Chains A and B, each alone.
Chain A
């Protein structure tokens, strides 16, 4: 029995359907990310789980209890928002204590719990400060502590890191992950940052236009994107127009590539998808499959790697983006206008229906 079950959740705002028949099961202690571009329905879905906006249709079950129609106060969750939403007139300690009060807990117990949480998020000596006196990262940790204080069964994070600097974001990402593992609290995080989702989640729910596009582990999502949308949204992808020649072979312009063609018949028009980092340039020999001669038409220095645009005689006007690590560039003496032998491993190529990308 899953800890949280969403059955057929639909949310309409007037004629607009923000979430369209979403079904999902989340296990206890799991860290799940809702990933998608803005307007894909991920925040709406989160708010429905929290009871802040009610779904138009469908059921939500938490720990076997139907919470579909319960107001937020009667559900069991803690929530952290992008804006932190810390109460400005309460100290850090009072903020964390806020959810512990009014429950019949003795004062001493509350003080202990607040100290415990301050320690947990590494702000032991900041309890008497006001939120405005803390940095953004510290504020977000207070918000996290406040949400965790009543020991909720479910932690909801709504773009918690988006308002922070890149460095702090990276650091806090790991901290949230560690904290979640330590407390084993079931967590759902909404984000539009694919890197964040890939690094932090046990499973990712990629959403698009109110529907679940793909559900899987970060590696599955990245390596086997179920749809062109996922392929394009997570990581970078070359989409090339092509045709299936025969089983196991597709043609792009004049170049015939070996690739899995399951689900397509010879003569079908397809979109051939190749990730820039999957194109091989080292140790390409006469036996390497899908090998062809290419020319470097443009280079883009991106720090840890070089993104180059290559063309080939057999590709005609089609261009392909290839990511090359800096030491590779150094070793192979790659430069603008130069030629090189490249290959695409067949198992790294994916075919989608035509028109994608």
Chain B
């Protein structure tokens, strides 16, 4: 093609004017947010998990000044060899382990010593600690006797896989992997048929009260996952009404975990399967009937294959929810350890951050795999959706309808039973012994956990999350979907936005400790504030919101932006005048989703709240932990009612907005 006339390649001019700079600035700002609030913290988890602390006494020498002369220096290792002293009581050293030098060198040996000379021989320094001061590499300190008594040895950090070796060599830790898979797998096996049956009844039968049943099925979304645990304790615990049904088994443990997880994962599975079943094509059923297929054969050859991706997707979503949840096992797990709980125990209980990081990485693996499978499956399901289908209208079939009504009623009773139990326990003096009505369980200020202030904090936190989160998510999705050019930047951004789905809340919370609590991080000032709770919660629930916004934006004509540009209008005007008003219903959906989840979430924030920013959901956890179960139930129900209120408010405002600004939708 050398014959082509010499023509200068055209430089893509996108950044010529303020508008373009604004766009670019926006992309960078939101990307920066996701990098700082997600990618970097996650990275610190990996770093921590390979960080090993070990005492290195061979790198510290001590010399005595006795009887007017300096004696030859000896390494601490030599002293240890001589005395047989056991460092750190024989336990693995952690970041916070310290050894006093006077404990290593026996008192007898130090008799008559007037001064000490200690030397840090390490390359990194910091082996010696005196009154908050660290030694520099090769530094020599000359100390009086009193100071020497205060001198401490610090462990040195290395990068190694020792933490992982330790983890897999410790049966108590390793067994959690099996336990987590057991409870997650069992819950999945129970929830999927239940949710399928429920969705099937709603789409394929003519039973009455379908709207009511749908509402009931979605109720668990509005409560923290701790609440079903508490309800089950009341129903099946030591003094429970239905304890005999367990036939001598204990509700504390895998049974309780599976039962409570079934409760809180049910709506998630139900919604996915409901969507999958609603898109079935009536023409396929007509064809099958014309070929005289039996009801069962139609079910097997038409219904199930049509919903298969929905089922796969739902199964992996449930599995991920259970394996990453920590509220349920915390309340009702008893001595049965699972991965998510191990992170909490290692970090909060034992301050062992490195092992906490190892468990996090172990938990990230199944969560990531499940996430990937879910994404692939739901993409396939969407592909099925685009085919023009004739919606199926079920026909009455008396026996089948009655059976479905019975089944749905059972599920509804289970869901409502747990809630009603919690509410009753909260309203009685002392269930089941003293059944007189009382409001003392609502006197949160007299309990541990933060009191009513925690409740108001939660509302404030959820409000900020909804407002700021919706703005960030929607602008981010707009950039991914509608901006021309900057292809790689947008693809990278989209990937970052999908990442939070695969990150368990506990891992996110732990990563924030590592990242934001590091004194050398300029963002350290955020630690312990309301801001960090909002930031983490937005990130935690970013992916679903992002996908909702993308779906809404994809439905808009891709040429709107081109038309607006040709009419010489700046991008922001197009965005505020057209995009936002048209997408308002989706924007409200995102806001309410963020609000509800911010009210109920425990996992990430449990590591991040401070005394002034305690949250209602965390208060449920702490009150339950302290044995104040009835107040915990009361607080959990407060969260429920708040979320119901928020939902009603959203429904109402949507209606008002629909009539006022969405008049164009009504033909």
Does B562 lie within 8 Å of A79, measured CB to CB? yes
Q: How far is the CA of A210 from the CA of B569 in the complex (A)?
A: 31
Does A56 lie within 8 Å of B9, measured CB to CB? yes
Nearest residue, chain B, Cβ from A158: B559
Please, which residues of chain B bring their CB within 8 A of the CB of A133?
667
Please, which residues of chain A bring their CB within 8 A of the CB of B19?
73
Q: How far is the CA of A156 from the CA of B565 in the complex (A)?
A: 13
Does B559 lie within 8 Å of A85, measured CB to CB? yes
Please, which residues of chain A bring their CB within 8 A of the CB of B106?
none
A69, A87, A102: which has the most chain B beta carbons within 10 Å? A87
Q: Is A132 on the interface with B (CB-CB < 8 A)?
A: yes
Does B13 lie within 8 Å of A98, measured CB to CB? no
Please, which residues of chain A bring their CB within 8 A of the CB of B13?
54, 69-71
Q: Is A52 on the interface with B (CB-CB < 8 A)?
A: yes
Q: Is B564 on the interface with A (CB-CB < 8 A)?
A: yes
Does A85 lie within 8 Å of B557, measured CB to CB? yes
Q: How far is the CA of A69 from the CA of B14 in the complex (A)?
A: 9
Q: Is B648 on the interface with A (CB-CB < 8 A)?
A: no
Please, which residues of chain B bring their CB within 8 A of the CB of A103?
568
Please, which residues of chain B bring their CB within 8 A of the CB of A57?
4, 7-10
Q: Contacts A56-B10, A70-B13, A81-B562 given; indicate if A89 touches B567 (C-beta within 8 A).
A: no
Which residues in window 643-665 of B have CB below 8 A to A?
661-665
Does A81 lie within 8 Å of B559, measured CB to CB? yes
Nearest residue, chain B, Cβ from A130: B664
Does B663 lie within 8 Å of A130, measured CB to CB? yes
Q: How far is the CA of A15 from the CA of B255 in the complex (A)?
A: 60
Does B562 lie within 8 Å of A90, measured CB to CB? no
Q: Is B78 on the interface with A (CB-CB < 8 A)?
A: no
Q: How far is the CA of A90 from the CA of B563 in the complex (A)?
A: 14
Does B667 lie within 8 Å of A58, measured CB to CB? no
CB contact between A81 and one of B11, B563, B578 (< 8 Å): that residue: B563
Please, which residues of chain A bring their CB within 8 A of the CB of B661?
89
Nearest residue, chain B, Cβ from A98: B567
Q: How far is the CA of A146 from the CA of B564 in the complex (A)?
A: 10
CB contact between A21 and one of B4, B14, B665 (< 8 Å): that residue: B4
Q: Is A292 on the interface with B (CB-CB < 8 A)?
A: no
Bitwise, B430-469 to A at CB < 8 A (1) or not (0) is 0000000000000000000000000000000000000000
Nearest CB on B from A186, distance (A): 15
Does B565 lie within 8 Å of A98, measured CB to CB? no
Q: How far is the CA of A337 from the CA of B577 in the complex (A)?
A: 68
Nearest residue, chain A, Cβ from B573: A102
Q: Is B5 on the interface with A (CB-CB < 8 A)?
A: yes
Please, which residues of chain B bring their CB within 8 A of the CB of A152?
566
Please, which residues of chain A bring their CB within 8 A of the CB of B17?
71, 73-74
Nearest residue, chain A, Cβ from B485: A54
Q: Is B20 on the interface with A (CB-CB < 8 A)?
A: yes
Q: How far is the CA of A333 from the CA of B345 in the complex (A)?
A: 99
Q: How far is the CA of A96 from the CA of B10 in the complex (A)?
A: 33
Does B664 lie within 8 Å of A79, measured CB to CB? no
Bitwise, A75-98 to B at CB < 8 A (1) or not (0) is 001110101010111100000001
CB contact between B568 and one of A53, A99, A146 (< 8 Å): that residue: A99
Q: Is B582 on the interface with A (CB-CB < 8 A)?
A: yes
Q: How far is the CA of A7 from the CA of B16 in the complex (A)?
A: 23
Nearest CB on B from A37, distance (A): 22
A88, A102, A156: which has the most chain B beta carbons within 10 Å? A88
Which residues in window 538-594 of B have CB below 8 A to A?
557, 559-560, 562-570, 573, 577-578, 581-582
Q: Is B380 on the interface with A (CB-CB < 8 A)?
A: no
Please, which residues of chain A bring their CB within 8 A of the CB of B12?
54, 69
Nearest CB on B from A166, distance (A): 22
Q: Contacts A8-B4, A59-B7, A88-B664 given; indicate if A72 touches B565 (C-beta within 8 A).
A: yes
Q: How far is the CA of A102 from the CA of B569 in the complex (A)?
A: 7
Please, which residues of chain A bring their CB within 8 A of the CB of B66?
none
Please, which residues of chain B bring their CB within 8 A of the CB of A7?
7
Please, which residues of chain B bring their CB within 8 A of the CB of A88?
582, 664-665
Q: Is B379 on the interface with A (CB-CB < 8 A)?
A: no
Q: How far is the CA of A10 from the CA of B5 in the complex (A)?
A: 11
Bitwise, A110-151 to B at CB < 8 A (1) or not (0) is 000000000000000000001111000000000000110110
Nearest CB on A from B568, distance (A): 5
Please, which residues of chain B bring their CB within 8 A of the CB of A59?
7
Nearest CB on A from B317, distance (A): 33
Please, which residues of chain A bring their CB within 8 A of the CB of B570?
73, 102
Q: Is B145 on the interface with A (CB-CB < 8 A)?
A: no
Q: Is B484 on the interface with A (CB-CB < 8 A)?
A: yes
Does A50 lie within 8 Å of B562, measured CB to CB? yes
Q: How far is the CA of A132 from the CA of B566 in the complex (A)?
A: 23
Bitwise, B282-293 to A at CB < 8 A (1) or not (0) is 000000000000
A-B contact count (CB 8 A): 117
Please, which residues of chain A bring their CB within 8 A of the CB of B16?
70-71, 74
Does A99 lie within 8 Å of B567, measured CB to CB? yes
Does B7 lie within 8 Å of A58, measured CB to CB? yes
Does A150 lie within 8 Å of B10, measured CB to CB? no
Nearest residue, chain B, Cβ from A87: B578
Does A89 lie within 8 Å of B10, measured CB to CB? no
Bitwise, B1-45 to A at CB < 8 A (1) or not (0) is 000110111111110110110000000000000000000000000
Q: How far is the CA of A98 from the CA of B565 in the complex (A)?
A: 11
Does A69 lie within 8 Å of B7, measured CB to CB? no
CB contact between A89 and one of B8, B563, B568, B581 (< 8 Å): that residue: B581
Please, which residues of chain A bring their CB within 8 A of the CB of B577?
87, 90, 98
Nearest CB on A from B329, distance (A): 48
Which residues in window 619-667 of B have CB below 8 A to A?
661-665, 667
Q: How far is the CA of A103 from the CA of B573 in the complex (A)?
A: 13
Please, which residues of chain B bring their CB within 8 A of the CB of A56?
9-10
Q: Is A68 on the interface with B (CB-CB < 8 A)?
A: yes
Q: How far is the CA of A103 from the CA of B11 in the complex (A)?
A: 29
CB contact between A150 and one of B4, B5, B568, B665 (< 8 Å): that residue: B568
Q: How far is the CA of A198 from the CA of B569 in the complex (A)?
A: 35
Please, which residues of chain B bring their CB within 8 A of the CB of A54?
10, 12-13
Please, which residues of chain A bring their CB within 8 A of the CB of B14?
71
Q: How far is the CA of A210 from the CA of B582 in the complex (A)?
A: 37
Q: Contacts A78-B567, A90-B578, A130-B664 given; indicate if A8 touches B5 (C-beta within 8 A).
A: yes
Q: How far is the CA of A149 from the CA of B565 in the complex (A)?
A: 14
Which residues in window 20-65 of A have CB below 8 A to B?
21, 50-59
Does B557 lie within 8 Å of A98, measured CB to CB? no
Nearest residue, chain A, Cβ from B583: A89
Q: Contacts A81-B562, A83-B559 given; indicate if A89 touches B11 (C-beta within 8 A).
A: no
Please, which residues of chain A bring their CB within 8 A of the CB of B665?
88, 132
Please, which residues of chain B bring their CB within 8 A of the CB of A147?
563, 566-567
Nearest CB on B from A17, distance (A): 9
CB contact between A73 and one of B557, B568, B663 (< 8 Å): that residue: B568
Please, which residues of chain A bring their CB within 8 A of the CB of B567?
78, 98-99, 146-147, 149-150
CB contact between B20 and one of A58, A71, A81, A156 (< 8 Å): that residue: A71
Q: How far is the CA of A10 from the CA of B20 in the complex (A)?
A: 25
Q: How far is the CA of A53 from the CA of B566 in the complex (A)?
A: 13
Nearest CB on A from B572, distance (A): 11
Does A131 lie within 8 Å of B560, measured CB to CB? no
Bitwise, A237-268 to B at CB < 8 A (1) or not (0) is 00000000000000000000000000000000
Nearest residue, chain B, Cβ from A156: B566
Nearest CB on A from B560, distance (A): 6
Please, which residues of chain B bring their CB within 8 A of the CB of A71?
13-14, 16-17, 20, 565
Nearest residue, chain B, Cβ from A101: B569
Residues of B at under 8 Å CB distance from A?
4-5, 7-14, 16-17, 19-20, 484, 557, 559-560, 562-570, 573, 577-578, 581-582, 661-665, 667
| Sample (5) of A-B pairs whose CB atoms are under 8 Å apart | A57-B9, A69-B13, A73-B565, A87-B582, A147-B563
11 other A-B residue contacts (CB within 8 Å) besides A71-B20, A98-B564: A8-B7, A52-B562, A56-B9, A73-B569, A83-B557, A87-B577, A90-B577, A99-B568, A130-B663, A133-B667, A147-B563
A-B complex: 8 closest residue pairs judged by Cβ atoms:
A99-B567, A130-B664, A85-B559, A72-B565, A81-B559, A69-B13, A57-B7, A79-B566
